[in-house]
Amino acid sequence: MLKNMQEVLEYGFEVLNRVYFDGELPPIVITIMSSPRTNGHYTVNEVWRSEEEYLHEINISAEHLNRPIENIMATLCHEMVHYYCALHGIQDTSQGGRYHNKNFKREAETRGLMIQQAKYIGWSVTSPSDTFIQVLRTNGIEKPLDINRDGERMYMGFVGGTGAGQTGTAGMMPVDTKKKKSSTRRYQCPCCGNRLRATKDIRVMCMDCNEQYIKID
């Protein structure tokens, strides 16, 4: 199932590279891995090796795949802007890569993204513009399926394990997969991804990002 989403991201990279970067961006490894505190990241170092070639990585958070495809692609383009800036020697961040400056804002908005400022992380809050969404639709970029990694759920797992080279179910603990009704609500900061729970509807701000938490279930 995840393969379908991976293919959409790789196709999205090709489209966005052609439309917004004149095809300048070299190949890059796109991953979908756990990253609950952020929507995505770009690695400054070439962390992947393919034969004799070394490649950078863009990761899209597995915990945030439940967003609309337009927002997922906006995150992908956000990281592509970091990639572009690194290749062209444009200083787009400071404070260890956390704070996004006005250079980043300029380069991102040139490429169909809408950028807002947040406390501590700068011009980082990203959303797709109408023209960006139209580019996606024109090129047939759609979400292949509704899939998302929920790190708070428990799954079947090994507690003892088997010896090297062995297979079996030793140590397996069955977990009730039926969803139980809960009176709690979950909220998430749309910027940094921090989450909290509450037993009633509330309005709360993230003190790191100066953004209001949104209800996610």
pTM: 0.68
* Domain end residue (candidates: 121, 138, 155): 138
Question: Which CATH number goes with the domain that contains 58?
Answer: 3.30.2010
Share of the chain above pLDDT 70, in %: 73
65 in a structural domain: yes
213 in a structural domain: yes
* Domain end residue (candidates: 122, 138, 154): 138
Contacts of 148 (CB under 8 A, 6+ apart): 62, 63, 64, 65, 66
148 in a structural domain: no
Q: What is the mean pLDDT of residues 130-152?
A: 83
**Does the structure show a pLDDT above 70 at 58?**
yes
What pLDDT, on a 0 to 100 scale, did the predictor assign at position 50? 67
49 in a structural domain: yes
38 in a structural domain: yes
DSSP 8-state secondary structure symbol assigned to residue 196: E
176 in a structural domain: no
Domain co-membership, 134 together with 216: no
178 in a structural domain: no
Q: How many domains does the chain have?
A: 2
**Does the structure show a pLDDT above 50 at 107?**
yes
Domain co-membership, 57 together with 134: yes
Of 140-154, 159-173, 197-211, the poorest mean pLDDT is in 159-173
Domain co-membership, 134 together with 208: no
> Residue 68 class from Cβ within 10 Å (0-12 exposed, 13-18 middle, 19+ buried)?
exposed
Q: Which of the four pLDDT bands, split at 50, 70 and 90, describes residue 109?
A: very high
What pLDDT, on a 0 to 100 scale, did the predictor assign at position 124? 93
**Does residue 173 or residue 109 have the better pLDDT?**
109
Of 17-21, 106-110, 157-161, the poorest mean pLDDT is in 157-161
Q: Which of the four pLDDT bands, split at 50, 70 and 90, describes residue 35?
A: confident
Look up the domain containing 65 and give its range.
2-89+130-138
**Does the structure show a pLDDT above 50 at 45?**
yes
120 in a structural domain: no
Domain co-membership, 134 together with 217: no
